[in-house]
């Protein structure tokens, strides 16, 4: 090996050690755990190697419920939140007075604690024997029937969950999109106006393609973020998510490790790798679609 | 083939004169308290003859771009009216005026190909004006051929040079056969060589289409070289309108005189006494019909003729040789220019060892300006200086 090469490796060593210890080793470890059958946490022993952990996880109704919940949340919240954020950003970009005030207001959820927000949502939506909650009062005012959104039917809980998720992720998306919109040069719009381009066409043919890299970024990170959702669920439904039927994949992994039914790192690892496979697949699909749709 | 500007097959070529009447644009003062109104354009009146190339010239911030925006309809005037032909277009939205606009930075849509960029304005047409696909393609191709980029139709703007991009921008502006073509600093983003080439190109395209063209620039050389008429502006007020040579030869005031010409005009403090013009102690010219008093004396670089018995003596610094001619660089205590640059014949011998250089002055290259108003004072050259 040449001397210069050696020097290069020397410089890389700290980073390599850091990455090795905190990234590569845990990854490999998870992979190994997921194939060790009957691993005992206390004695650190196992009696076999194979696919049993995967089989167990994939047949666990709690896991299947978690997968279903996660997919519902992802598929509902990512498109909706990105769409609404785009709509609000365009509105924000088109007003002059009070723009800064609105930007601040929209950004507040981002700096607010998840659990605090969850508590507020719970108070808004919960129905107890003593009170119906603000949302139910509104529903009843319009002649509807009160629903318990926190302990009630599945669709009601899912509605609250999605509502909450969208509300929480919105500020970041609005922040990104407003700055993306601001970076589109005024001259493009002037040129389009002189040519008599309709507002819709300007948006669809000029604005949207120009900010498409940012939208794409938001969709990808949105998907990944939503697949990893867990704390939001806890904030609203409490720690026993399985009982509430609102568990997510990450929640399931946590439960397998530390929950009441915990102590099974092998099951947790298998579930984690399944989640990884799902996220990986979705991201690849996203990238393939974006090749055709995103400019630059 | 000639690119003929016709509309709705009525066969008439579209030539449009543009009339500006008392055009004024005021902006509310920026940011809160000091609500000082800014007048960007002040009572601009001008009739632009059809089919001509007009150069709107002035330093940055003189209101020339605002004038262009008013003509295009992107901005509404505070007062005054705009006519295209006989039609009052003051209240019309930009798209109904039939103008083509070209920007300094081209403003080509980066995600669209050249073809899509040129087609873009045509695709906006609605209702009766809507064109068939083939007709759109045909017109786009024709416009592309006019600016000679027809072999680059499938490129994206990012893959082209600045000059090529500017051509695409012109094609896009022309494809809807506008009544008026407006160019906002079209050459400023190009390098020197391309600038020269592209300005010839603009002249050619303008002559080929015959479209009334107004272009904005701060580069006087650019404006002088290709315009049929130039309009010199300063602080929102039109200073002078005329054929380039005429404006150069007879500037109405000191500002116009200083703004046109490279190297710039040399300005001296002078005094008129009893029909003669003095710079310092030198009696340089006879100047009749001028009231006695202090004046500014502007002398063009080509107005100096070195001569041993010349009336004006200056301290010689250097002589720059360009091959075609020579530039004598000198100084004079009464000159407000740091250096006096005078352009003389390449044959003229000047002894650079000397400390003093003496000049005769060509009377037609000497302009007198009023000390306060800075307006030009016409004067009659006495018998002694007529040769």
Chain A contact present for B270, CB below 8 A? no
Whether B121 contacts chain A with CB within 8 A: yes
pLDDT attached to residue A280: 92
Which residues in chain B have their CB less than 8 angstroms from residue A193's CB?
74, 94-95
Tell me what the mean pLDDT of segment B122-146 comes to: 85
What chain B residue is nearest to A199 in terms of C-alpha separation?
A: B124
Task: Tell whether the model's pLDDT for residue A71 goes beyond 60.
Answer: yes
- What mean pLDDT is predicted for residues B197-224? 87
| Whether A187 and B103 lie within 8 Å, measured CB to CB | yes
Alpha-helical segments (H) within B321-375:
none
Q: pLDDT by residue (tens digit) across A157-216?
A: 899 899 999 988 898 999 899 889 988 888 899 888 888 888 888 998 889 989 988 999
What tokens appear for B114 in the block?
A: 């050249």
pLDDT score recorded for residue B29 = 65
The pLDDT value recorded for residue B1 is 31
A-interface mutation test, from B103, B168, B172, most A Cβ less than 10 A away: B103
CA–CA distance, B339 with B335 (Å, rounded to integer): 8
**Rounded distance between C-alpha atoms, residue A25 and residue A201, angstroms:** 52
Residue (of B271, B261, B325) closest to B299 by Cα position: B261
Grouping H, G, I as helix, E, B as strand and the rest as coil, residue A58 is helix
Q: Does B293 touch chain A if contact means CB atoms closer than 8 Å? A: no
As a CATH number, domain B18-252 is 3.40.50.300
Min distance A186 CA to chain B CA atoms (Å): 9
Q: Is B105's CB within 8 Å of A193's CB?
A: no
**Confidence (pLDDT) at B265:** 92
Whether A23 is covered by a domain: the verdict is no
For B120, the closest of A190, A195, A209 (CB atoms) is: A195
Answer whether residue B28 shows pLDDT above 50. Answer: yes
- The pLDDT of B272-298, averaged and rounded, is 86
* CATH code for position A149: 1.10.3720.10
- B45 CA: distance to closest CA in chain A (Å): 23
- The answer to whether residue A168 is domain-embedded is yes
For residue A295, the chain B residues in CB contact (below 8 A) are 110-111
Q: Give the pLDDT band (50/70/90) at residue A104.
A: confident
Helix (H) or strand (E) holding B202: helix B192-209
Q: What is the pLDDT of residue A28?
A: 93
pLDDT at B32 over 70: no
How far apart are the C-alpha atoms of B174 and A232, rounded to whole Å?
56
In a domain, A25, yes or no: no
What are B322-329's contacts with CB under 8 Å, separation 24+?
B326/B350, B327/B263, B327/B301, B328/B304, B328/B357
pLDDT higher than 70, residue B35: no
**How big is the A-B interface in CB pairs under 8 Å?**
56
A277 pLDDT band, cuts 50/70/90, is: very high
User: Which run of H or of E encompasses B198?
Assistant: helix B192-209
The two structure tokens encoding residue A46 = 């196992």
- Give the pLDDT of residue A182: 87
Tell which wins on pLDDT, A149 or A273: A273
Query: Mind telling me how many Å the CA of A191 is from chain B's nearest CA?
Result: 7
Q: What is the pLDDT of residues A34-61, one digit of tens each?
A: 898 877 777 777 888 888 889 999 999 9
The pLDDT value given to residue B31: 55
Mean of the per-residue pLDDT values of chain A: 87
pLDDT score, position B256: 92
Any domain includes A249: yes
- The fraction of chain B above a pLDDT of 90, given in percent, is 12
Directed axis angle between helix A61-94 and helix A154-182, to 10°? 40
In a domain, A28, yes or no: no
Q: What is the average per-residue pLDDT within B300-314?
A: 87
Distance, in Å, from the CA atom of B6 to the CA atom of B3, rounded to the nearest integer, reads 9
Q: Please indicate if any CB of chain A lies within 8 Å of the CB of B98.
A: no
Q: Given the structure tokens 């990884």, which residue do they identify?
A: A276
Which of the residue ranges A257-266, A269-278, B142-151, B334-343 has the most confident prediction, judged by mean pLDDT? A269-278
CA-derived radius of gyration, chain A? 24
What pLDDT shows up at residue B296? 92
Taking all residues of chain B, what is their mean pLDDT, rounded to a whole number? 84
Residue A191 lies in a domain: yes
Q: How far apart are CA B82 and CA B44, in angstroms?
A: 10
Range ranked top by mean pLDDT from A67-71, B9-13, B100-104, B161-165: A67-71
CB under 8 A, 24+ apart: contacts of B161-166: B161/B194, B162/B106, B162/B189, B162/B190, B162/B191, B162/B194, B163/B190, B163/B194, B163/B197, B163/B198, B165/B106, B165/B108, B166/B102, B166/B106, B166/B190, B166/B198
The pLDDT, as a whole number, for residue A63 is: 92
Per-residue pLDDT reduced to its tens digit, B138-186: 888 888 888 888 888 888 888 888 888 988 998 998 888 888 899 988 8
- In a domain? residue A48: no
pLDDT band at B8 (very low <50, low <70, confident <90, very high): very low
What are the start and end residues of each CATH 3.40.50.300 domain in chain B?
A: 18-252
CA–CA dist A117, A266 (Å, integer)? 34
Encode pLDDT of B63-118 as tens digits.
Answer: 888 888 899 888 888 888 888 888 888 888 888 888 889 988 888 998 889 999 99
What is the predicted pLDDT for the residue at B15?
A: 60
Lowest-confidence pick of A133-137, B33-37, B108-112, B232-236: B33-37
* Burial of residue B311 (number of CB atoms within 10 Å: 0-12, 13-18, 19+): middle
Q: Does B176 touch chain A (CB under 8 A)?
A: yes
Range(s) of the domain holding residue A99: 61-293
Q: Which stretch of DSSP H or E encloses residue B249?
A: helix B244-249
| Alpha-carbon distances of A202 from A162, A199, A209, B84, B245, rounded to whole Å | 32, 5, 10, 27, 44
Residue A80 confidence class, pLDDT cut points 50, 70, 90: very high
CB contact under 8 A, B109 and A201: no
pLDDT band at B355 (very low <50, low <70, confident <90, very high): confident
Name the band, by pLDDT with cuts 50, 70 and 90, for residue A260: confident
* Cβ–Cβ below 8 Å for B121 and A187: no
Instruction: Name the residue in chain A with its Cα closest to that of B102.
Output: A191
CA distance linking residue B354 with residue B314, whole number of Å: 11
Structural domain contains residue A255: yes
What average pLDDT does range A109-129 have in this prediction? 83
pTM (predicted TM-score): 0.76
The CA distances from residue A53 to A28, A67, A260, A274, in Å, are 16, 16, 19, 11
Q: Please check whether residue B227 is in contact with residue B53, taking contact to mean a CB–CB distance below 8 angstroms.
A: yes
Widest pairwise Cα distance in chain B: 78
* B172 vs B4, more confident: B172
Residue A292 in this model has a pLDDT that exceeds 80:
no
What is the reported pLDDT for B7? 40
CA of B231 to nearest chain A CA: how many angstroms apart?
Answer: 24
Q: Quick check: B287 contacting A, CB < 8 Å? A: no
């Amino acid at each position: 090996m040449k001397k210069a090469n050696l020097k290069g490796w020397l410089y890389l060593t700290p980073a390599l050690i850091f990455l090795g210890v905190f990234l590569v080793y845990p990854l490999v470890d998870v992979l190994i755990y997921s194939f060790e059958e009957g691993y005992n946490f206390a004695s650190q022993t196992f009696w076999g190697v194979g696919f049993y952990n995967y089989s167990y996880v994939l047949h666990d109704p709690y896991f299947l419920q978690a997968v279903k919940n996660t997919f519902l949340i992802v598929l509902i919240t990512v498109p909706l939140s990105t769409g609404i954020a785009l709509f609000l950003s365009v509105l924000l970009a088109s007003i002059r007075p009070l723009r800064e005030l609105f930007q601040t207001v929209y950004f507040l959820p981002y700096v607010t604690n998840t659990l605090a927000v969850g508590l507020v949502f719970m108070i808004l939506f919960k129905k107890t024997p003593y009170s119906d909650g603000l949302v139910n009062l509104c529903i009843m005012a319009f002649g509807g029937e009160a629903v318990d959104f926190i302990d009630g039917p599945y669709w009601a809980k899912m509605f609250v969950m999605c509502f909450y998720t969208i509300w929480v992720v919105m500020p970041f998306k609005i922040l990104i999109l407003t700055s993306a919109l601001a970076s589109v040069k005024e001259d493009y719009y002037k040129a389009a106006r002189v040519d008599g381009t309709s507002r819709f066409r300007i948006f669809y043919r000029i604005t949207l393609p120009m900010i498409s890299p940012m939208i794409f970024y938001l969709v990808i990170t949105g998907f990944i973020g939503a697949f990893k959702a867990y704390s939001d669920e806890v904030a609203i439904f409490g720690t026993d998510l399985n009982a509430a039927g609102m568990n997510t994949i990450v929640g399931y992994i946590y439960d397998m490790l530390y929950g009441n039914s915990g102590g099974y790192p092998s099951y947790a690892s298998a579930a984690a790798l399944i989640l990884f496979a799902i996220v990986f697949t979705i991201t690849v699909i996203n990238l393939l679609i974006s090749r055709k749709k995103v400019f630059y | 083939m000639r690119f003929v500007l016709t509309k709705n097959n009525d066969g008439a070529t579209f030539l449009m004169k543009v009339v500006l009447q008392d055009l004024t644009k005021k902006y509310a003062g920026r940011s809160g308290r000091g609500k000082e109104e800014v007048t960007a354009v002040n009572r601009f009146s001008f009739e632009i003859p059809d089919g001509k190339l007009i150069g709107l010239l002035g330093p940055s911030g003189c209101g020339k771009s605002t004038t262009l925006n008013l003509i295009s309809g992107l901005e509404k005037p505070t007062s005054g009216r705009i006519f295209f032909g006989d039609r009052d277009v003051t209240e019309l939205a930009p798209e109904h005026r039939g103008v083509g606009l070209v920007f300094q930075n081209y403003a080509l849509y980066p995600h669209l190909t050249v073809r899509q960029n040129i087609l873009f304005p045509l695709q906006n047409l609605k209702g009766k004006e809507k064109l068939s696909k083939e007709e759109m393609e045909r017109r786009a191709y024709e416009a592309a051929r006019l600016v000679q980029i027809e072999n680059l139709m499938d490129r994206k703007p990012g893959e082209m040079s600045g000059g090529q991009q500017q051509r695409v921008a012109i094609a896009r502006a022309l494809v809807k056969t506008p009544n008026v073509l407006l160019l906002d600093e079209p050459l400023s983003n190009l390098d020197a060589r391309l600038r020269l080439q592209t300005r010839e190109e603009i002249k050619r395209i303008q002559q080929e289409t015959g479209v009334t063209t107004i272009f904005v620039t701060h580069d006087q050389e650019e404006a002088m070289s290709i315009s049929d008429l130039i309009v010199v502006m300063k602080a929102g007020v039109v200073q002078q309108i005329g054929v380039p040579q005429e404006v150069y030869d007879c500037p109405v005031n000191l500002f116009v005189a200083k703004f046109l010409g490279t190297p710039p005009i040399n300005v001296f403090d002078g005094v008129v006494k009893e029909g003669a013009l003095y710079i310092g102690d030198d009696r340089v010219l006879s100047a009749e019909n001028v009231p006695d008093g202090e004046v500014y004396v502007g002398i063009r670089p080509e107005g100096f003729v070195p001569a041993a018995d010349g009336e004006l003596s200056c301290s010689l610094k250097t002589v720059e040789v360009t091959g075609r001619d020579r530039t004598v660089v000198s100084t004079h205590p009464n000159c407000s220019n740091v250096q006096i640059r005078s352009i003389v014949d390449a044959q003229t011998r000047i002894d650079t060892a000397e400390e003093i250089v003496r000049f005769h002055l060509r009377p037609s290259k000497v302009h007198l300006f009023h000390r306060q108003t800075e307006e030009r004072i016409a004067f009659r050259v006495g018998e002694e200086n007529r040769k």
